[in-house]
Structures are given as C-alpha cells and as structure tokens.
Structure 1
Amino acid sequence: MVVVTTTDLVSEAPPRPLDRILLIGASRGLGLALADEWSGLGRHVVATVRGSSRTPLHELADRDDRDVEIETVDITAPDQIAALRDRLSGRTFDLLFINAGVTNEPDGTVAETTDEEFTRVMITNALSPLRVIEALADLVEPDGTIGVMSSGQGSVTNNVNGGHEVYRGSKAALNTYVRSYAARHVGDRRSLVLMAPGWVQTDLGGSEARLTVDDSIPNVVTTLDSLSGSTDLRYVDYLGRTVPW
C-alpha cells in the first residue's frame, strides 16, 4: 500500500530556484498578489486570466520593472486547457501554481445549495485543478514544483465548527484528488504542495479576514521556495506549518 505523508519542512534535496513560474488564475486577489510578489523578486511569470477584458494583471504586466506574460484560460473548459498546453509547447517552468478557485453564493448548508451551484463550485475547485495538473505537468522541470492553492478549510480534522460547507467540501475533495495524483506518481521528483494561505482580506476572504495580502503572500512564496527539492506531498499553511488532513 502506498502511503503519502505530509511532514515538517525537511527537503530531500537543496531547494532549487523557482525562477520560471506558470501561475494559473491571477487576474485579482491572491493570484494577482502572487504575480506581483514573484515578478518583484525578478522572476519570470506567465500568468493567466479567464477572458479578454483588461484586469489589474495587465497593469502589472505593463510595468517596465516586471517580467510578466499574460495567457488566457478558463480552467473549467478542457478545450481551453488543451489550447494553453499547445501554446506553451516547448517551454519549461520551475513552478506550476494553480490558484484559480471560487466560493459559493449564497453560503448555506449542503442541503440548501442548488445542484447548479454545488456543481459549479466542485468543478472549479476540485475537478479543474487536476485537469490542469494532468495537462501541464510535463511543462514542469523534472525536479520542479507543482503547487495548488487549497485552504485550511479543506482540513477534515480541523473542521470542528462547520460552516462554509460547500467550499470546505470542494477543498477537501481537491486535497484528496491531489493526494491520489501523488500516489499515482510515486518516484516523480517534482515537489507537490497544497497551500493554505490563511484567511486573507480579498474579495473571496472578505474584509473581516485576519490577514492582509502582505501578511500572507510573501510567506507563501518563501514556503514554496523552501519546499522545492522535496519529494513528498506537503499540505502546509503560509508559514510552512503542516496542516492536518
């Protein structure tokens, strides 16, 4: 039986520089902040938006001091994922990071949620990230990193208060599917990271969140850097602390 473990931060190889980054979902919120942080550190970022409308990411890419390319993909559309893969053919990245995700509206119990809303959240947050990983993993260097933005709310162990049931369930499903992916790829030297960024003040997190973007995102980047070179799946928070499954 294959057992995939999450352990404290002990890399099996020296961390490798994550200089070339493919960031899925960066038009606003945490994704935009990640593109800003990485490009501000002098790293080359290929970042995606969903449509043709101008976004704050375009403003970031227009700055002379930033190395940001913009691509377009809706991760819920398999044909668009395949088209992105074709456009990036021949290129390689040190890090593939999938940030795209949604919350459910209105926020009620599972039983109160419509079939359509439940399906939308689960497809976006759980199914689509795995489709992206399967399609784009071979663009990541053999000793590179694949990361996915999860949530502390995806922890079944830590769910002692309930609430946000559909969103919680979608992130718990995402964690399970990434764990299954890891179990199917034993021996792959790429690092796999499920990242819980904390409760952050964004459109999704709301104004009452405990952390600002500046509290979370620089630490997310530092943690991802520290985990490059590891070979097990890690489920960690923005400070690098292991999150219980």
Structure 2
Amino acid sequence: MSTRTALIVGASRALGLGLATEYARRGWNVIGTVRGSRRTGLHDLAEASGGRVTVESLDMTKPEQITALRDRLAGRTTLDLLFVNAAVTRGDLPIGEVPEEMFTEVMVTNALSPMRVVESFRSLVTPTGTIGVMSSRQGSISLNTRGGQDLYRASKSALNQLMRSYAARYAEAAHTLLLINPGHVRTELGGPDAPLTIDQSIPGVVDTIDRHSGEPGLQFLNYLDERVPW
C-alpha cells in the first residue's frame, strides 16, 4: 500500500502540530501549513522527519493564498486527508458588547475561511478520501445550556452549518466528511486549566478519523469517537 498523504491547514503549533506529529509517526506523508515566514514547531518536525513532513505557507483568511497553494499542489499531490485546523477567540464578551471588527475577524477565521479551503482543495482529495474540520463542543446548539463565549460558539455553530450545506451540495460524492471536537485541551485557546493535554486528545482524534475512513457523508464526532449532538 502506498504511503498516504495528509494536508493539515494550521499546523504550526498546538492541536495542528500535534496532528502533523501523530500522522508522521503513523507513517503518513504530511504537508502542514503555517502563517508567515517565522520558524515554528512544524519546521522542527519537518527537519527531523527525513522528508516525510513538508511546510507550506498559508494565511487562509486570504483567498489568493488559498488559490496559490492549491495551484502549487495540483498535479503533483493527491490527498488522502484534508484537515483544516484553525480558530481564534477574542475573549468572553456578551454578544451585544462585541465590536463589529471582532465579530468579522472571528467569523471569517473560524467559519468562512475553513470552508473556502475545503471548497478549493476538494478536487485534490482522492474520491474516497477524508475532509475534516476542527470544530468544538461549543459549536453544539443543543449542548449550550450555560451560555458564555458567545462569539466563539456562534462561529463554530456557523462552521457546522456550513459543513452541513457543503455535504448536501456534494451529496453524490464519496468523501468522508468529519467535524471533530478534540475535547477541552490545554492550549492557548483552551486555557491552562483544561482537563486534556494535546497528547491525550490527538491520538484519539486520529483514531476517530481513521476509523471512519471510507464512510461517505458528514458526521460530528469527538476525540473518543462519540457523536456530538448538533
């Protein structure tokens, strides 16, 4: 069996770097993206990988950069997995206090830009390959019983809804489509008091993705391969 290839968008640190590390450890070829030219943990991983991991530059909030990366990869790379991992939060403000500029930034980064990547790169994914996007428990409307983090929740719910629309639009395609909740992980985004480490979350995320490989349609799952209610 030939070596499988994953493109992980947003792999410079935290969960994205954890994904790149885990897939490389499992024998995949990994293309990871970083914003800008600064050195990151992904560069260190690539140097130690013996060519298994490569680094590409991408700011996914800039459509022209999405197109440029797709054009660079088209014709020479076929993807078994496209996974988009990127999100920002800008504090826990009630929605009425969120400035318009902040609302736009978070929605563009967390919802619009991941879908632009998915739409642009879907043609590079093998017919039975997987397209995954990092979601969150906070994107579940039915599980929102305490409120808080209004804007971040809304952005992840929007992402989930956009993936539902995408799945309906391409219902005849055989791609596996996954929204993944990695759990509450100890990262800059998750905070220092989160119960999970990256090493506790990411192997489960990869196991879940692999377990559903070849299953057409969209599912919203967590790192323990449990269904997350919409």
Match of 1:233 in 2: 218
Q: Give the secondary-structure state (helix, strand or coil) at the position aligned to 1:162.
A: coil
TM-score (norm. length: structure 1) = 0.91
Match of 1:184 among 169, 178, 185: 169
Is 2:85 the counterpart of 1:86? no
Contact 1:39 1:66 in 2 (8 A): no
Question: Aligned equivalents of 2:46 and 2:121: distance in 1?
Answer: 23
Match of 1:137 among 122, 134, 148: 122
1:59-208 matched pairs, under 5 angstroms: 59-64=44-49, 67-90=52-75, 91-104=77-90, 106-208=91-193
Q: CA deviation at 1:65?
A: 5.0
CA deviations over 1:18-69 (Å, ceiling 9, x no partner)? 8210100001110001111111111100000010111111011110456100
Contact 2:82 2:132 in 1 (8 A): yes
- Unmatched 5+ residue regions in structure 1? 1-15
Question: Aligned equivalents of 2:57 and 2:67: distance in 1?
Answer: 12
Write the letter of the residue equivalent to 1:19.
R
Contact 1:18 1:95 in 2 (8 A): no
Question: Aligned equivalents of 2:89 and 2:45: distance in 1?
Answer: 25
Q: Give the secondary-structure state (helix, strand or coil) at the position aligned to 2:86.
A: coil
Contact 2:3 2:29 in 1 (8 A): no
How many residues in Structure 1 have an aligned counterpart in Structure 2? 229
Q: CA deviation at 1:17?
A: 9.0
- Unmatched 5+ residue regions in structure 2? none
Question: Aligned equivalents of 2:60 and 2:53: distance in 1?
Answer: 20
Match of 1:25 among 3, 7, 10: 10
Is 2:209 the counterpart of 1:224? yes
Contact 1:60 1:66 in 2 (8 A): no
Is 2:33 the counterpart of 1:48? yes
Write the letter of the residue equivalent to 1:59.
D
Higher helix share: 2
Higher RCO (C-alpha 8 Å, min separation 6): 1
Write the letter of the residue equivalent to 1:62.
E
1:183–1:160 Cα change, 3 Å: same
Contact 2:24 2:52 in 1 (8 A): yes
Following TM superposition, the consecutive aligned residue runs of length 4 or more in structure 1 with deviations greater than 4 angstroms are none
Match of 1:6 in 2: none
* Percent of matched pairs sharing the same residue: 53
Question: Aligned equivalents of 2:208 and 2:133: distance in 1?
Answer: 13
Q: Give the secondary-structure state (helix, strand or coil) at the position aligned to 1:153.
A: helix
Q: Give the secondary-structure state (helix, strand or coil) at the position aligned to 2:220.
A: strand
CA deviations over 1:110-142 (Å, ceiling 9, x no partner)? 111111111000000000011001100000000
